Structure 1
């Protein structure tokens, strides 16, 4: 049985209420039949770490035991323009909103928030770069790529090496753009370089277990060496 599941009922109810209010508003304002789509910058301003909403972000969290041994490895998901997390969780299932293994612990913002200009007169290159934040097509294209890839993955069998959450995010990014061809390995290293921790304690929870494990092994080896010298 295949599934594309949204585990947050409250968000669904809120969306239905928003749709109802929108419908009522359209009836009351028949002249405003067309509503302009929102820009990229509008969506980016809705980032909310408390609710795990990171529009246009790739998010990561640790897998028990595996991430303790190799902290760079873990489970990834991709956020749509609304900030909802889509992640390939198991065979025939892509989850929405509720990420497997818990809350996201590291984020790569594919489109970071727009930085305010340092002065009124911007160079031509900076002006061109800022134009992207006014795009109304990017959110639509981004969401379409995520949905298309996710619909394909709900018919795929989970495999730790050949078909996992990293493959899902790669397909989403490759469907969205063609400049860079992402593979799980390329995505892993890109995420390692560009990803950021929401807080220091969050990073500590990832790196502390392997440090403790290494220290335990070193202490164990040390005592074994002492026992051998005493025999």
Structure 2
């Protein structure tokens, strides 16, 4: 048991050292970026992609299109690093195969904001690799877990994620107070 935990920490440390926000390289990570207007209103909803073992981002960017290394709504502002040792039959090859197969499948799908979207693409990749011994990944639990476990790539990433929402919220509260004080 201790050997498994030691190996897991070693894998985690190696991947962490390879993360490079300047070049948008996030090995074994799920990445997230805000969607203009939608994320301003609901900052927990955004655009999601999954990265290969060498950090190349794959994201379901629109109908019949999975982009490679150029996210539909800009560079990632948050990332959630996953543990490659939690992949069934552990290893980067299984990870990369699952990301590739999910991407190939989504190249043949129509994009639907509510039902079959970028989160669904990432969920399929996780289900194919049986990440954390699960095949029940879906857009809802990914949205929640990315919110909880995601780390901002920088302070600028934090601002890009939260500042529009905070400005909108402050404006609404100020307007409400102004109306109530009249």
Equivalent residue of 1:87, what SS?
strand
Q: Deviations over 1:46-99 (max 9, x none)?
A: 322210101100000000011011111000000001100000000000000111
Instruction: Tell me the distance in 2 between the aligned counterparts of 1:201 and 1:103.
Output: 11
Shift of 1:140: 0.6
4+ long deviations beyond 6 Å: none
Shift of 1:212: 1.3
Unaligned runs of 5+ in 2: 1-9
> What TM-score does the superposition give when structure 1 sets the normalisation length?
0.67
Instruction: Tell me the distance in 1 between the aligned counterparts of 2:51 and 2:37.
Output: 25
Unaligned runs of 5+ in 1: 1-38, 113-131
1:69 lines up with 2:41 in the alignment: yes
Query: In the alignment, is the contact (CA less than 8 A) between 2:63 and 2:110 conserved in 1?
Result: yes
Shift of 1:43: 6.6
Q: Deviations over 1:160-208 (max 9, x none)?
A: 1111000000000000016222111111111122111122332122212
**Rg comparison, structure with higher value:** 1
Of 134, 148, 161 in structure 2, the residue corresponding to residue 193 of structure 1 is 148
Instruction: Tell me the distance in 2 between the aligned counterparts of 1:96 and 1:168.
Output: 13
Using a 3 Å threshold, how does the CA distance of structure 1 residues 42 and 211 change in structure 2: closer, same or farther? closer
1:221 lines up with 2:171 in the alignment: no
Shift of 1:214: 1.4
Q: What is the RMSD computed on CA atoms of the aligned residues?
A: 2.3
Q: Deviations over 1:114-134 (max 9, x none)?
A: xxxxxxxxxxxxxxxxxx59x
Query: In the alignment, is the contact (CA less than 8 A) between 2:77 and 2:160 conserved in 1?
Result: no
Instruction: Tell me the distance in 1 between the aligned counterparts of 2:81 and 2:172.
Output: 37
Indicate the residue corresponding to 1:96 in structure 2: 68
Indicate the residue corresponding to 2:161 in structure 1: 206
Instruction: Tell me the distance in 1 between the aligned counterparts of 2:18 and 2:153.
Output: 16
Q: Deviations over 1:16-60 (max 9, x none)?
A: xxxxxxxxxxxxxxxxxxxxxxx9679724322210101100000
Query: In the alignment, is the contact (CA less than 8 A) between 2:66 and 2:106 conserved in 1?
Result: yes
| Number of residue-to-residue matches in the alignment | 168
> What TM-score does the superposition give when structure 2 sets the normalisation length?
0.84
Instruction: Tell me the distance in 1 between the aligned counterparts of 2:34 and 2:13.
Output: 30
Indicate the residue corresponding to 1:177 in structure 2: 130
Equivalent residue of 1:145, what SS?
helix
